[in-house]
Amino acid sequence: MNQNRPAQRRGIYLLPNLFTTAALFSGFYAIIAAMNGRFESAAVAIFIAMVLDGLDGRVARLTNTQSEFGAEYDSLSDMVSFGLAPALTIYAWSLNSLGKLGWLAAFVYTAGAALRLARFNTQMAVVDKRFFQGLPSPAAAAIVAGVVWMGNDLGLSGEALRWPAFAVTLIAGVLMVSNVRYYSFKDLDIKGHVPFMSMLVMVLIFVLISLDPPQVLFGTFVIYALSGPAVTGWMLLRRYRQKRFAERRD
């Protein structure tokens, strides 16, 4: 047997890439729905893409079907679903009333998503898997789409919320390319045994979301977005106090 023969290339695995394709379709559908003025449908489609995006990686790891192709395909799907779709949806719903400022804010968000994904792809092998550097693009998309969904649910027009929408879009775009660390939840063991209380908490979460999906989901992801700066600030403060304490001891 020739030991110098190059390793056989791995094929394209169907199951995880089906989830990725479904996420890509949801993002594409969100863009089409926004172009046709069906903004609530567009926002819901972005949330569906977020769920499917979370499943494809889990399925690949559970079935041991990770591949370089899948990683690249997932990144391209994310750019459509969490970069272009939210920006175009909120622009068509609200930001277009601001003229040039509106499309510039949408572009800042889109560029932030592209840069965030590019940085993530180049740092996968060196970063701490427990944390994300910068706000994850699905969470940023959930916040932007959540503004649209919640505004429609409350009967508010996009023009009436143009300045809050402008601020949310810009902040979400900037947070994606920031150095703020966010907990990734990747160390959660979904295959092992869990306490009974954990199952009860999950049931309560589903019940809470079902009471008012737009407001609960939007509020949840806003809290997650704020958790990064809060935790980062607390860590910097603790490090500063430890440094001061060490200097006093010396």
Provide the percentage of residues in the chain whose pLDDT is more than 70: 87
- Polymer length in residues for the chain: 250
Q: Please give the residue that has the higher pLDDT: either 139 or 203.
A: 139
Q: How far apart are CA 82 and CA 66, in angstroms?
A: 22
- For 14-187+199-249, which CATH class? mainly alpha
pLDDT of res. 144: 97
Q: Are 114 and 176 in contact (CB under 8 A)?
A: no
**Digit-coded pLDDT (tens) for 90-129:** 999 999 999 999 999 999 999 999 999 998 888 766 666 7
The Cα–Cα gap between 62 and 15 comes to 11
Nearest CA-CA partner of 158 in 45, 40, 44: 40
For residue 131, list its beta bridge partners: 183
Note whether 81 and 53 are within 8 A (CB): yes
Distance (Å) of CA 31 to CA 43, 84, 148, 222: 10, 8, 13, 23
pLDDT in tens, 33-74: 999 999 999 999 999 999 999 888 778 777 787 788 888 899
For residue 201, the SS3 value is helix
**pTM recorded for the entire structure:** 0.84
In sequence order, the 6+-apart residues with CB closer than 8 A to the CB of 17 are: 56, 69, 70, 73
What does the alpha-carbon distance between residue 248 and residue 250 come to, in Å, rounded to a whole number? 5
Interacting residues of 187 by C-beta distance below 8 A, sequence separation 6+ = 129, 130
What is the average pLDDT value for the chain, to the nearest integer? 86
Asked if residue 153 has pLDDT above 60, the reply is yes
* C-alpha R_g of the chain: 20
